[in-house]
Chain A
Amino acid sequence: MSKDRKTSRRKRNTIILFILLIPIFVGDIFIILQGKLPFLEMGIPLVLTFLLFITLFFFIKRKDGQKIEGDERNERIEGRAFTYSWCLSLYVVIILMLNDTLELFEISTSQCLFYILSVMLVTNLVFRATLNRKGDIEN
């Protein structure tokens, strides 16, 4: 794939990601303006938006920065990190479902989402860094 095509695809993806963030921002503004929710409940969507922004920032920075498109080791690492983090997030989902069934702790839906997304994001970064230190991820 030519460099120009890659650049235009990257720009298009960035625009799409920003467009997808608009409804979240509008939602956040409504939540703040209404001010009906308790502080903790109101903070969670804002923290989630912040996490999304951080992810997006690193995503764009990485694409425009030192990462070389098509580096096969990078691609393998990214794929593996996503798989591992997804599996761990699924594990967290199961734990939360068990918690709900056994009625151990009272957790709201937004708190659930916060836990799942946080685990997904943090484990992805951790796995990526760990796998990056290893030579071959197939080993």
Chain B
Amino acid sequence: MISHVKEFRARMDLTQAQLAEAVGVRRETIVFLEQGKYNPSLRLANLIAKHLNTKIDELFDFSDEV
């Protein structure tokens, strides 16, 4: 999984801690998410996408797993 969370977060000028607080998770979860090491639930992916004003398929690229 390739994650684009970091780019979108930078565009919104948010820190990892701010995003984590906004979506109700720990900062470590955002860290692993940005590194593409953690597969979020649909609920969390949707929440992050909403907060970053984008869509889930733009945030996460699963093309390498298909």
Contacts and interface: CB of A to CB of B under 8 A. Distances in A.
B24 A73 contact: no
A67 B44 CA distance: 17
A136 B44 CA distance: 14
B39 to A, nearest CB: 6
Interface string A56-73: 000000000011111111
A67 B26 contact: yes
A34 B35 CA distance: 60
Instruction: Give chain B's interface residue range (CB within 8 Å of chain A).
Output: 10 to 19
Interface residues of A, number: 15
A73 B25 contact: yes
B29 interface: yes
Q: Is the interface of B mostly helix, strand, loop or mixed?
A: loop
A98 to B, nearest CB: 40
Nearest to A66: B26
A135 B38 contact: yes
A74 B43 CA distance: 15
Interface of B: 20, 24-26, 28-29, 32, 35, 37-41, 43-44
6 contacts: A66-B26, A71-B25, A71-B26, A72-B41, A73-B26, A135-B32
